[in-house]
Amino acid sequence: MFNLQGNSLYVLSDSSIKGLVLRALGKSLDQSSFVFITYAQLIYRFTVATKFNVDISEEKQLRINSWGVKYYSEFLGRSYESTLKALRAEFKKILDEYGPQYSELVCMLKMPAIDSQTASSIKYINQYLSFRLVA
């Protein structure tokens, strides 16, 4: 659908991850889960960049890092594969339903520089998505 090479995309807000996990796995994540994996340095999780005009200063952006990938693939092994499969299947449903919006969003996020008009467009698209993205 879209090419992500060379750009790091971040999930916008813990709530995007919580919603995906709830829909895919039927499990609720509490805030301590995010704090733990952040302090264990398995993800990048920090305050959203100001260029995205996010209204809530506590809002975070998240992305798994190489240590997180290594931990999940080596230490959780096969038990992780079924979880990953369920998460991918749920995300595919989201992409199938909102493909054009994600394509437009990713094109904007891949721009070398994001100006205020583009940031406003990103914010506008993200408000209609359950799994929101920033860069």
Nearest to 37 by CA among 74, 72, 78: 72
CA-to-CA dists, residue 113 to 47, 106, 116, angstroms? 19, 13, 10
pLDDT of residue 4: 52
pLDDT of residue 30: 86
Question: From CA 102, how far away is CA 80, in angstroms rounded?
Answer: 26
pLDDT of residue 69: 81
pTM: 0.80
62-112: pLDDT as tens digits: 988 888 888 877 776 666 778 888 888 998 999 999 999 999 999 999 998
CA-to-CA dists, residue 39 to 33, 36, 51, 58, 61, angstroms? 10, 5, 26, 17, 15
Asked if 3 and 114 count as a contact pair (C-beta separation under 8 A), the reply is no
Give the gyration radius of the chain's Cα atoms: 15
CB contact set of 43 (below 8 Å; sequence gap of 6+): 37, 62, 63, 64, 65, 68
Half-sphere exposure in the Cβ direction for 17 (13 Å, CA): 20
Beta bridge partners of 62: 11, 45
pLDDT of residue 96: 93
